[in-house]
């Protein structure tokens, strides 16, 4: 049964963020998740750009958010290697290190040649020979790694991957996201501090708002490298998303989602994300379809995942739901005409995670549990990529049910947003003025509440 198109399902988050950024205010950010006819995905500098809404009627007037602050320049990082020894009792034994941390083969031409183990189960090492060096006469081998941890013997994962409805890390350990959205595109000077603060209260993931240049200042490859480095420094997994196509088809300011695909496949961005598969997920485009173009959702993403794979991306790819991410038409939820299954199967790697943004469409516990149970019933993986305690005045979100159901279903959740939401969406801020010592009511709930971040988050084993 489809949800009614109600005017009460309005989402205006990104625009309010933009306004704050331009005015230099302390509190407005992109609350880009919406439902409703007149949803607004707010960007910095506080002008309203159409957000995620389950529209009540067509013909909503959308205004364009102005450009937010530009990003930082970044430095590059390298990761270390690990050496392990295999014992030999006699004979000349040659042992080879597996690709970037897989188990080495038994030595030949000698008796008692023990199997030597390579580095962590991670094939994305950035230093050393990715295939390990040849063992010497005492069976010692070396294999380089991208710093992906110690891992399970025999695990040969490149990075995050899905199996059934679960997400696993490079060490083949299950990983359940508990995190926050950080509005880098509009508040770039606060990004590094936000990462550190989010980690200090237990978050294991940050979903980072970036821009292609379609609406806001482009996040460069060098800045992207710095963002990834900051996340790794704080043992945070980074889910990277670009915001410029939010609400395409309904938002006049939104650029076609192909713009997002072109961003990820550009040489400078590829250079920043390649080799970071153990720490980074790619959220192709934030809420790329509003309420008027949702029929394009499946076909666009089928083509997008194939294009990204052809360009060499090996990352876990994240696909946002239609209808400003809230999927009130239930196209993704019900796998209507195999819409979600076809996206998953279009990926030659079969490595796609689906994301729903839960705002006022999910104002009851039954709506929350019904959605999650139905979608997982298709055997596909799900994350709640954005949610809050409300979506503005009078627009309740059943956040307690979201956190509880996510915990019992072992799926991830990422709260919107660390700070910067403007207008009547200030209640969506987790902190006041980016100050972790001053949590809002919503911030206290997601961090300290039952099934909250402090209670349920576990650091990814990729950092072990």
Q: Report the 10 Å Cβ neighbour count for 200.
A: 11
Q: Is 114 exposed, middle or buried (0-12, 13-18, 19+ CB in 10 A)?
A: middle
Q: CA-to-CA distance for 464 and 461, rounded, in angstroms?
A: 5
User: How far apart, in Å, are the Cα atoms of 423 and each of 48, 121, 403?
Assistant: 9, 47, 26
Q: Is 63 exposed, middle or buried (0-12, 13-18, 19+ CB in 10 A)?
A: middle
Residue 381 is encoded by which pair of tokens?
């993986």
Q: CA-to-CA distance for 447 and 437, rounded, in angstroms?
A: 12
Q: Could you tell me which of 243, 182, 224, 185 has the C-alpha nearest to residue 207?
A: 182
Q: CA-to-CA distance for 250 and 54, rounded, in angstroms?
A: 11
Active-site residue set: 287, 386
Contact 211, 45 (CB under 8 A): no
- For the four alpha carbons of 140, 460, 454 and 197, in that order, the dihedral sign comes to positive
Q: Report the 10 Å Cβ neighbour count for 424.
A: 16
Q: CA-to-CA distance for 277 and 208, rounded, in angstroms?
A: 16
Contact 215, 253 (CB under 8 A): yes
84: left (phi over 0), alpha (psi -120 to 50) or beta: beta
Mode of pairing for the β-strands spanning 382-387 and 280-283? unpaired
3-state SS class at 175: coil
Beta-bridge partner residues of 94: 108
446: left (phi over 0), alpha (psi -120 to 50) or beta: alpha
- For the four alpha carbons of 121, 123, 126 and 128, in that order, the dihedral sign comes to positive
Residue 298 is encoded by which pair of tokens?
């499946």
Q: Could you tell me which of 23, 74, 34 has the C-alpha nearest to residue 425?
A: 34
Q: Which residue has the tokens 């909503």?
A: 60
Contact 164, 375 (CB under 8 A): no
């Amino acid at each position: 049964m489809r949800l009614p198109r109600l005017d009460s399902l309005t989402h205006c988050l990104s625009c309010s963020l933009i306004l704050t950024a331009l005015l230099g205010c302390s509190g407005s950010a992109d609350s880009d998740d919406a439902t409703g006819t007149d949803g607004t995905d707010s960007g910095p500098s506080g002008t309203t750009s159409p957000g995620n809404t389950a529209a009540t009627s067509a013909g909503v007037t959308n205004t364009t958010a102005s450009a937010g602050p530009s990003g930082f320049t970044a430095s590059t990082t390298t990761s270390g290697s690990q050496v392990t020894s295999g014992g030999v009792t006699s004979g000349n034994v040659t042992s080879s290190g597996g690709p970037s941390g897989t188990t080495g083969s038994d030595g030949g031409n000698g008796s008692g040649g023990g199997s030597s183990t390579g580095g962590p189960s991670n094939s994305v090492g950035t230093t050393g020979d990715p295939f390990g060096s040849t063992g010497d006469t005492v069976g010692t081998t070396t294999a380089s790694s991208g710093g992906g941890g110690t891992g399970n013997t025999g695990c040969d994962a490149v990075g995050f991957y899905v199996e059934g409805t679960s997400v696993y890390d490079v060490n083949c350990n299950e990983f359940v996201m508990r995190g926050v959205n950080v509005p880098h595109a509009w508040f770039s000077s606060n990004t590094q501090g936000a990462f550190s603060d989010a980690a200090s209260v237990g978050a294991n993931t940050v979903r980072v708002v970036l821009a292609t240049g379609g609406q806001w200042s482009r996040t460069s490859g060098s800045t992207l490298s710095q963002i990834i480095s900051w996340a790794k420094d704080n043992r945070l997994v980074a889910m990277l998303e670009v915001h410029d196509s939010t609400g395409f088809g309904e938002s006049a300011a939104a650029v076609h989602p192909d713009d997002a695909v072109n961003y990820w496949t550009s040489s400078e961005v590829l250079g920043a994300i390649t080799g970071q598969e153990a720490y980074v997920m790619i959220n192709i485009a934030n809420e790329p379809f509003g309420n008027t173009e949702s029929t394009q959702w499946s076909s666009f993403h089928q083509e997008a995942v194939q294009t990204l794979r052809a360009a060499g991306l090996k990352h876990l790819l994240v696909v946002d739901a239609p209808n400003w991410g809230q999927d009130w038409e239930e196209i993704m939820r019900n796998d209507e005409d195999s819409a979600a299954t076809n996206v998953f199967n279009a990926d030659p790697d079969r490595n796609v995670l689906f994301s729903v943004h839960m705002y006022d469409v999910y104002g009851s516990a039954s709506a929350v549990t019904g959605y999650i149970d139905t979608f997982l019933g298709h055997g596909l993986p799900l994350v709640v990529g954005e949610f809050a305690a409300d979506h503005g005045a009078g627009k309740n979100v059943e956040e307690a049910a979201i956190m509880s159901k996510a915990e019992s279903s072992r799926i991830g959740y990422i709260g919107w947003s660390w700070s910067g939401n403007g207008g009547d969406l200030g209640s969506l801020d987790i902190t006041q003025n980016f100050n972790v010592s001053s949590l809002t009511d919503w911030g206290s709930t997601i961090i300290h509440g039952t099934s909250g971040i402090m209670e349920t988050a576990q650091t990814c084993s990729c950092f072990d």
